[in-house]
Amino acid sequence: MSTLPPCPKCGSEYTYEDGPSLICPECAHEWSALASAETPAEGDKVIRDSVGNVLQDGDTVSVIKDLKVKGSSLVVKVGTKVKGIRLCDGDHDIDCKIDGIGAMKLKSEFVKKV
């Protein structure tokens, strides 16, 4: 016998399956059985790299295109590995330190998880 997840809306333990859906008999909330296994908790923001991998604090990523450093003549080259990233809110959602350049913020759309 498999254990079903509790209702994400009211927390009831009495959920049941009806085809591809899960249903809560107490609040009548319906949700996909696949969605409950893959989606994070409410309020968590998922940051993905350029190919769709989920990024987490401490990951190592690789830059997928040359990036000009604003206010400088420096360029972050394709293939540059960045270790120990930190995720943050905003348009540039990765805080990191790049060897030879220093502290930077990157957009997750320009990196790939290694």
- Report whether pLDDT(93) > 60: yes
Query: Which pLDDT band, with edges at 50, 70 and 90, does 94 fall under?
Result: very high
Q: How many domains does the chain have?
A: 2
pLDDT in tens, 27-72: 888 887 665 554 455 456 789 999 888 899 999 999 999 999 999 9
Give the pLDDT of residue 34: 64
Rounded to two decimals, the pTM is 0.61
Q: Across the chain, where does the E strand assignment appear? A: 16-18, 21-23, 30-32, 61-63, 67-68, 75-76, 81-82, 86-87, 94-98, 102-106, 111-113
Residues 68 and 100 in one domain: yes
Residue that has been written with the tokens 């450093």 in this structure:
69
Cβ pair 63, 80 in contact under 8 A: yes
Give the pLDDT of residue 1: 46
Residues 31 and 69 in one domain: no
CATH (domain of 14):
2.20.25.10
